[in-house]
Each structure stands twice: as C-alpha cells, then as structure tokens.
Structure 1
Amino acid sequence: MQNNLDPRAQAIVQKALDYATGAGGEVGVQVAAYLDGKLVIDAWSGSADPTSGRAVNGDTLFNVYSVTKAVAATALHILAERGHIDYDAPVSRYWPEYAANGKGGTTVNHVLTHRACVPQMPADVTPERMCDWNWMTNAIANLEPLAEPGSKTLYLSMTFGWIVGELVRRADPQQRSLGRFVREEIAQPLGIDDLWIGIPDEVEPRVAKQVNGMLPVPAEYLPPLFLASMPEQVALVPEVFERSDVRRAEVAGVGGIFNARSEARFWAFLANGGELDGVRLLSAERVATLNTPRANSEEPDPVMFGFPIPITIGGFWFGGEHPPVSCVRNPRAICHPGQGNSIGWADPDLNLAVAICHNRLFNPTSVEEDPLLPIAQAVREALGL
C-alpha cells in the first residue's frame, strides 16, 4: 500500500508527526489521508506503549471515543438508503419500548441531531452493565426525557450510541448488532480492516496504551448535565476503556477502536460522495445532505458547558476555527471529534478525508494548545491544498 505514496508528501507529514511526539508532548500518533479516493498519506510516530517501549506502526489501534458516533450514524443512513428506516418516524416505530415515560414523540431525526433530550446515563450504570447491550437498551428505553423531545439540544454524550445502535439492530432485516453491521455493510465492502466497535481477541495486542494528559477539572465546575451524561464510574478514561470487557463490548457511541488507515478510508467514501473504488454504500444525493445544519444549530448546549455545537442533520459535526474541530478548518466539512482530541473528517469541497489517531488524552481549549493542528496543516501543505 505504501509504494504508491509520494515520498515528498510523506516526509512533510512525518516531520510534523515527529515534532508532535517530541517537543509537542504527544505520545503516539498516526495520520492517514485520502484525496480523490486514493490513499495519499499514511504515517505514524511515537510510542504505542511507553511502559514497554512498543512503537506505533501503521497497524496500531487506538481508542477514538466519539469518532465512533460518525460510524454509527452512517450505519443508520445505509438503512435509510435501503428504505428500512425513516428519519421522520418515531423511534418507537422500530423500538416500541422506547416510547415509555413520555418519549413517544422522539423521532430518529431527534436522535441524530442530539435533540432526543435523554443525555443522562441510567443512574445505576456500571462498567459491567455498560457491556450488557440488553441491560443498557432496556434502561435507556425507560429513561424520562429532561425536556420535550425535539424541543432543545442536549448532547447525547454516551446514550447516542445505544439509541442509534438499537435502531440499527431493530431496523436491519437480519437484526444484526451495530458492530456486526458495521463490519459486514461498511468495513468489508470497502476493504477496511480495522473499524472495530467491540474488538475480537486477536487484535487486542495491537491496541495502544492510553496516557491521560487531561487537566483535572473539579466536579463543582462541571455542569450537572455533563456529569449525568458521562458519570464518573463509566467516564471516558483509560481505567474504564482499557478494561478487556469494555474493549470487547459494543459501546456504540464512544467505544470504537480504529487505526488511522482504516478510519480515513471510512471518511473517504463520504468525501467521495458515498462511493469508493466502485463500491457505493450511499447515494450522492443523500451524502450531499449530510452537511445540512440541524435546526437551531446556534443554541447553547447545557451538557457541553453551554456552548453551541455545530451539528448536521446527519449526526456529524462541522469543521471550524476552534477546538475540538480546528484541524478540519472547512466549515462545510463533516467530521467527528472524540474525547482526548481524536478527529476524523470528510471535506467534500476538496474530496479530502483525514483521520488522526493518538493515545494521549488531552482536550485543547485553544488553537494554540492543539498539538494535532500542525499535523493537519502539514497534510494540507504536503498535498498542495
């Protein structure tokens, strides 16, 4: 695969990666990029496991946290493409139990646009229960919405994955789990090796060890809804997400374990209008709608510190000038950031797809603090964009 890559372009990106894992404070990083449907950058640097000295290579796997949401949403779009799901239909058309406690009016579109008003995780969730699909979906079906569904934005930090995943399972004629649907209907047709929502045993030795570089924020400074959406016992931290049971479970909104090469190929099919190497998964018309802003996109989100989150009707984020989407730059590009600063995007204006995976969890608060931004800039420079 690497023989087709331009050595000059690779060298520009490699220099940025080596700086990131040196003076930039990163531990291990991978970046891959597709331009016009072709792999044009595939590079990496640093350590996959600082304790053992294992180096990152192109096959190293990384926790990507909420980047997983983009893959889950795409599975739902594939079912909509095939006529198995209607965005305007109530969730309860496919999942009758979901109508409990005032959620009967929640539509599929409300879920995709984070307006389902159930950001809170079930009160008695534990890491073990998070690994039990039936327990989680039953508990979420019984939640009471915190506002009238559709009436306001309340970011579904973790619940998004189970709601979308159960919609996929219920609407799929074969009733496949989300992880299996992604393997069989996205990864295999597109020739993607490592887009895991629930890993098999044999890939675990390739998973990078996470290093938590997050700045601790005292609980009293965190919005109550932020804490409700990501409770401490199942927080997006190595202590929870490096557990072997959590790695193997389909934690559908935040549990993805990918590498940059595989993730970039996923974004490439979206950047290329729903088709890659002769395999079409979505119509060009549908993909062209995925960067339509959701209604009331400027509304502040109480879960996310009162910031407005630029989300599309397709369940993606838009690129922008500020973290966590500063790497993407183009405000028309669709992307998804993940806890700790993972990012992947599809820029339809350039037919560019990029994935950056890393193992140091750090959420920058400014462009100047973002250690991955120089890598994204190096990719554009290397490709003459």
Structure 2
Amino acid sequence: MSDLQKQVQVLVDGLVDDSVEDGVQVAVYRNGDLVVNVVAGVADTAAGQPVRPDTLFYSASTGKAAASTVAHALVDDGVFDYDTRVADLWPEFAAHGKGEVRIRHVLTHSAGVPAVPADTTIEQLTDWNGMCQLIADMEPWWAPGERVGYHAATFGYLIGEVVRRATGKPISTVLAERVAGPIGMADELFFGVPQEQLGRVARLTDDPGGKAAFASMPPEFPLFKAVPPAIVPNADFGNRRDVLTSDMPFAGTMSARAIAKMYAALIGEVDGVRLISPERLSEATTLATAGLDDEMTGGTSTWALGYCLGWPGTSDPSDRPTVFGMVGIGGSAAFADRATGVTVAVTKNRFNPIEMNIVQRVTELADEAFV
C-alpha cells in the first residue's frame, strides 16, 4: 500500500468516524495507473450497506465532463466538429434566431439558452423529447459566443440531442460504446442507470449545514434564473428512481474510479486505450472564455470546451492552467492535470452544495506526493 493510499484512507476514515461524511470513494490515477482506490463508510445509512469500489453515486454536474468527453470523442472520429452548427444536426433548434449556435458555443456555455422555465418540474426533466422540444423553441438570451452563462440543465440536452441526431443513438449508448466501454467502466459510469443496477446506487442524505447555507442564498441569485430552486439537485432529487434511470447528461451516476479512469484516458493511455488524440486534448482543455464573467454564477468564467480549468476552489485557472475537470453540486468532483499525469475523483453521499474539502485535500496530498 502506497503512502498516498494510506494518507487518503486516514483522511476519509476520519471524516466518517467524525460523522462529517456518510460514505466516500476516492480514486487517483497517475500516468495510467490506479494509485489510490479508497472507500469508507456506508452507501445507505438506514441499511448500513458499506461503500464498495463499484458503488454508484449520483454525482450531479460531475457528469457534465462525461458528456463533454463524448462530444470530443465524436469530433475526433469526424462525426462533427466544434464549429458545426447545432441546427445542421437538429434543424428545429434554429427557431428564434438560434441558427448560428455552434457546438463550440454549447461546450463553452455561451449558446445563449442557459435557463429552463421557472415552472419546470422534475418530471419534465426526465422527458427527453419534451425537454428537447422546449429548448429548441426557446428565444436566446444573447447572440452565440457574445456572453457566457452556466447552462446548468440545458447543457445536457444540447449535447445529448446533438449526439443523438449525429449518431442515431442516445448519448447514454454512445457513452458506453465510445468512452466507458473502452476503458472497462461501462458498468460504473452512467447517465441513466439501468433498472437492474439501481441496487448498487448509494442513497444520498442532505448535509444540514450545506442545505441551510444554500437555502439562505437570495432569490435573485443569478443561477436561480437558469435552474429554479424546485429542480436544483439535492438528496431527494438524486434518490428518485425516475431521475436515476433517465438520461439527463447535465449530471451523472458513477464510481470515483470510473470517472478518474476516464480522465486518465483523456490525458494518456490506460490499459492501452486513449480516448482522444493529444491534439484534441490540447484544444479541448484550453481556456475559451477569457475576459468574460459567468452571468449565471456571478464569477469569473473559466471554461475550456466543456471542462472548468484549475483545481476546485480556485477562480484563477492561470495558477494551474493544465488542470481541467468538473465539480458536482453535492461535493463530488473529478479533475486531471495534463502536466503531472494525475487524475483525482471523489464521490460521496452526504450531499453538501458548498463543500469541496475532500477533493481539495486529496489534490493537496497528490501534489505533495507527485509534484
């Protein structure tokens, strides 16, 4: 057992013992090798079911990186390119002047359709065709590329419908065939979880402190314009059977080792597999929104093509421009560093919308070990 494996195990065991966390997975890859594979705690607090390495966690927006990876793989395969107009694949999307939106704009959250209607329900989110029809008929908030605003929910349907129109297959199928399957993780990396796999999904609980802090945000917080509070993911949201089994590629359900392995196969070879070319990786992980603030989050925009740049917790990607990844609202996250060959992933079931402590501490430990 490596020193880093021991250090991470001590870290997460302590958090569980102190009742800070219920169940946690941590995975770290370095240069294609799994060097940390840690679990702690329980997947279901009521049943006392222990977390296993293959336990699945609803990880919210951490899954956006998987959707982006599908898009990059298809660009690498010549199915479409970043400057393909969305409407060339999805003609209905051209309504109300959206005909010039490119796939590049979708990946940089600059497509101009960041919000769903204020009365959108969770049931509507699980209706793929209904959501795509709704988004196609939206009026844009800005011209493509003119502004940036986190497309919290619409991102998944935009990418997913482009993939479906281009390949004739749901994005979940393409994820399995082009990304998760080749790296041996087709049963640990999902958008919609197959019914027969639901027994492996950890049960989420809301962290009282995080829930209260999120609830205290003012109603005029810009992100609530994009995602009404009634459909912002929380523990109840992520425990719903219809949510877990539906393709909603603005989120995902996964193990830590699966999403960490995906990132490892983006930045290099893993078990002889590399998901995209080095040239594609370079383009996909270069800052694409310099000088623009994010109108939905109110912060500095740090988008590459579908990934955020910099370690979690930083608003300045220039500090570590070779780091890219995505966090989830509940505290799960996964990142990769092209310079060091290190990828880090954390999944957990204590749902806390403001907490990034575990992934930050693990990345610090990995830095100490490898940088």
1:68 aligns with 2:59: no
Tell me which amino acid in the other structure corresponds to 1:158. Answer: A
The share of aligned pairs that are identical, in percent, is 34
Q: Which residue does 1:231 correspond to in 2?
A: 228
Tell me which amino acid in the other structure corresponds to 2:171. Answer: L
Equivalent in 241, 262, 269 of residue 265 of structure 2: 269
Equivalent in 198, 202, 208 of residue 208 of structure 1: 202
Alignment of 1:133-212 (within 5 A): 133-172=128-167, 175-192=168-185, 193-212=187-206
Distance in 2 between residues matched to 1:258 and 1:310, nearest whole Å: 25
Distance in 2 between residues matched to 1:348 and 1:371, nearest whole Å: 21
Q: Which residue does 2:286 correspond to in 1?
A: 292
- 1:270, distance to aligned residue in structure 2 (A): 1.3
The answer to whether the 8 A contact 2:126-2:243 is kept is yes
The answer to whether the 8 A contact 1:119-1:225 is kept is no
Partner deviation per Cα, 1:187-208 (whole Å, 9 max, x = no partner): 1111113101100122211111
Equivalent in 337, 342, 348 of residue 352 of structure 1: 342
Equivalent in 86, 91, 94 of residue 96 of structure 1: 91
Q: Which residue does 1:339 correspond to in 2?
A: 329
Distance in 1 between residues matched to 2:154 and 2:198, nearest whole Å: 25
The answer to whether the 8 A contact 2:58-2:244 is kept is no
For structure 1, the 5+ residue unaligned runs are 1-5
Equivalent in 104, 110, 123 of residue 105 of structure 2: 110
The answer to whether the 8 A contact 2:23-2:43 is kept is yes
Distance in 2 between residues matched to 1:262 and 1:325, nearest whole Å: 28
Q: Which residue does 2:20 correspond to in 1?
A: 25
The answer to whether the 8 A contact 1:324-1:363 is kept is no
SS at match of 2:46: coil
Alignment of 1:79-90 (within 5 A): 79-90=74-85
- 1:222, distance to aligned residue in structure 2 (A): 3.7
Equivalent in 296, 309, 315 of residue 318 of structure 1: 309
- 1:288, distance to aligned residue in structure 2 (A): 1.8
More displaced 10-residue stretch of structure 1: 282-291 or 90-99: 282-291
Query: What TM-score, normalized to structure 2?
Result: 0.92
The answer to whether the 8 A contact 2:311-2:335 is kept is no
Query: What TM-score, normalized to structure 1?
Result: 0.89
- 1:259, distance to aligned residue in structure 2 (A): 0.4
Distance in 2 between residues matched to 1:298 and 1:359, nearest whole Å: 36
- 1:84, distance to aligned residue in structure 2 (A): 1.4
- 1:124, distance to aligned residue in structure 2 (A): 4.4
Q: Which residue does 1:376 correspond to in 2?
A: 363
Partner deviation per Cα, 1:154-193 (whole Å, 9 max, x = no partner): 1101100000000111112xx1101111011111111113
Equivalent in 229, 240, 247 of residue 243 of structure 1: 240
Distance in 2 between residues matched to 1:224 and 1:76, nearest whole Å: 30
Distance in 2 between residues matched to 1:363 and 1:123, nearest whole Å: 21
The answer to whether the 8 A contact 1:25-1:371 is kept is no
Tell me which amino acid in the other structure corresponds to 1:257. Answer: T
Q: CA RMSD in A?
A: 2.2
- 1:23, distance to aligned residue in structure 2 (A): 3.3
Distance in 1 between residues matched to 2:100 and 2:224, nearest whole Å: 26
- 1:357, distance to aligned residue in structure 2 (A): 0.5
- 1:38, distance to aligned residue in structure 2 (A): 0.9
More displaced 10-residue stretch of structure 1: 162-171 or 52-61: 52-61
SS at match of 2:211: coil
SS at match of 2:21: coil
- 1:109, distance to aligned residue in structure 2 (A): 0.8
Distance in 1 between residues matched to 2:264 and 2:256, nearest whole Å: 12
Distance in 1 between residues matched to 2:242 and 2:64, nearest whole Å: 20
Equivalent in 8, 13, 27 of residue 13 of structure 1: 8
Distance in 1 between residues matched to 2:370 and 2:85, nearest whole Å: 46
For structure 2, the 5+ residue unaligned runs are none
Distance in 1 between residues matched to 2:13 and 2:294, nearest whole Å: 37
- 1:248, distance to aligned residue in structure 2 (A): 0.4
The answer to whether the 8 A contact 2:312-2:359 is kept is no
- 1:219, distance to aligned residue in structure 2 (A): 7.1
Distance in 2 between residues matched to 1:71 and 1:321, nearest whole Å: 17
Distance in 1 between residues matched to 2:17 and 2:31, nearest whole Å: 32
Distance in 1 between residues matched to 2:42 and 2:114, nearest whole Å: 35
Q: Decide whether aligned partners of structure 1 residues 220 and 42 sit closer, same or farther in structure 2, where only a CA change above 3 A counts.
A: closer
Distance in 1 between residues matched to 2:232 and 2:153, nearest whole Å: 10
- 1:294, distance to aligned residue in structure 2 (A): 0.8
Distance in 2 between residues matched to 1:269 and 1:259, nearest whole Å: 16
Tell me which amino acid in the other structure corresponds to 1:342. Answer: S
Tell me which amino acid in the other structure corresponds to 2:61. Answer: S
Q: Decide whether aligned partners of structure 1 residues 219 and 364 sit closer, same or farther in structure 2, where only a CA change above 3 A counts.
A: closer
The answer to whether the 8 A contact 2:266-2:274 is kept is no
Distance in 1 between residues matched to 2:216 and 2:354, nearest whole Å: 19
Distance in 1 between residues matched to 2:215 and 2:264, nearest whole Å: 39
Tell me which amino acid in the other structure corresponds to 2:200. Answer: R
